[in-house]
Structure 1
């Protein structure tokens, strides 16, 4: 209608214009007479981006995707989306239907026919080892936060050094994808000046969608870092980053009202700066991560071994 109005206003013959744009003359003049507008179909109800638990707690769709990936990586990999729905309902008390699970499975490309495709990057299972220094093992995970003032979620993805407990780098955003994980790996290596070193840290993650993506796996290969993933339902294998996120929740997020994304960004930036530089850590002789690294380099404290 708007296109037809524009050309007719320029002096072109109305019948010719309407025939070209495919609008019936009667329809056109009827809408002109009663000032009716054409509305574009909005595609249905807006996707909320979260599911509810039985006690009405919101769970971000990205967290649900991570649970689905854990299920299809474990003994539940024989299930289709209908039985995966039942698993989510039983194991996580979610109020979720099979239609939504089908949509999430389709977005993850884990519906039954796709599971038989040969993986470009086979999964390396996290192994037990002893860490004797910094830059040997880094753990990464994603935490989801809720901004009450804007009724939406934000994402925080952090890299922690298992030995010195420093948050080496992190990503805060309204989205969190494989490319973001690849980027902070690269900047973390730059911060630690490791590009010229022969040995790179092992990167340990869970089975989240960011970490099984081709862009993240390709980045690990390019950067010569070994990527290992913990088995499904074993968060203790990623204990150090899980512990940091629990501390962040308790000491930062629960004590501040997040009215906007800008608030969340500033508050978390300030807390991580405090955590790295000034917060005392019991496992580090009551030193902050920065102080621990300095004192260890000077030989003022005794090195130890971390078993993971």
Structure 2
């Protein structure tokens, strides 16, 4: 029979247990588990922070690779860490386990939030989420014209894939024409091939916001706040049709009656009429707000 020998680290755990559970003295606890007191008082001086940081960088950059490739990349960079040390840290970090990893987004460039100089130049788009009274999840797809802040669409559905997004945009294109570019986040509906191919087909540029930077799409975010306060937080909905009917009424009131400070305290529809008549000169400040001059 092979006698199992405990490592000092495991003996220290047992000493802690004896002291805490039976309130015995350190000397007695060390004698019971046969651990020298010098080993009990010993404090490790090892600092593996650099190894940990390096392995974390490699794991993020190459999530499907293994230890050998990580180790040889480290050696090629001139870091002379011992293989056993790197392997110990690698195992402690549990990098040997198969990890699920998300597809990485292409690095987004910060896009300035500028007010377009003409109608139908830029549309902002975003999704909102809520639930019906029976706890079924719902989604609301909002489209806004950045020039006059007009709500072009508020469409609700239990699900809203890229195909449904294109159906809404096709309807708007038939009614008022296609925009020059659209502004949206990096949601799966907007990064899908279906959506990107539709934009390419219609010569529409996509301006993606940077992840975690919702205010780069500030116009639609402010609109979402109004819609949530007035509708989604104010009512219970039994079905999608009820929500859609209330949303359509609210959208009409918003477009015809909501005073925008950045538009000179007139509504989106009034501003649209003013631009079409050409009876108003306008210019932009350093901030994206619109200044009006008679």
User: Which category describes the TM-score, using the shorter chain as reference length?
Assistant: 0.5 to 0.7
Alignment match, 2:227: 248
Give, in angstroms, the shift of residue 243 of structure 1: 0.6
Larger Rg: 2
1:186 aligns with 2:167: no
Alignment match, 2:17: none
Cα deviations across residues 26-72 of structure 1 (Å, max 9, x unaligned)? xxxxxxxxxxxxxxxxxxxxxxxxxxxxxxxxxxxxxxxxxxxxxxx
Residue ranges of structure 2 left out of the alignment (5+ in a row): 1-58, 64-98, 290-294
Root mean square deviation, CA, Å: 2.9
Whole-angstrom distance in 2 between the partners of 1:115 and 1:145: 27
1:163 aligns with 2:147: yes
Q: Which has the larger displacement, 276-285 or 225-234? A: 276-285
**TM-score, normalisation: structure 2:** 0.59
Whole-angstrom distance in 1 between the partners of 2:213 and 2:234: 29
**TM-score, normalisation: structure 1:** 0.56
Cα 1:115/1:193, change in 2 over 3 Å: closer
Cα deviations across residues 215-257 of structure 1 (Å, max 9, x unaligned)? 1111111111011211111101011111101000112222222
Cα deviations across residues 160-191 of structure 1 (Å, max 9, x unaligned)? 11111011234211101111122222222222
Residue ranges of structure 1 left out of the alignment (5+ in a row): 1-75, 81-109, 195-199
Whole-angstrom distance in 2 between the partners of 1:124 and 1:203: 15
Whole-angstrom distance in 1 between the partners of 2:113 and 2:223: 21
User: How many residue pairs end up in the alignment?
Assistant: 194
Residues 128, 307 of structure 1: 8 Å contact kept: no
Give, in angstroms, the shift of residue 158 of structure 1: 1.2
Give, in angstroms, the shift of residue 150 of structure 1: 1.8
Higher RCO, Cα 8 Å, sep 6+: 1
Whole-angstrom distance in 1 between the partners of 2:157 and 2:163: 12
Alignment match, 1:142: 127
Whole-angstrom distance in 1 between the partners of 2:209 and 2:216: 6
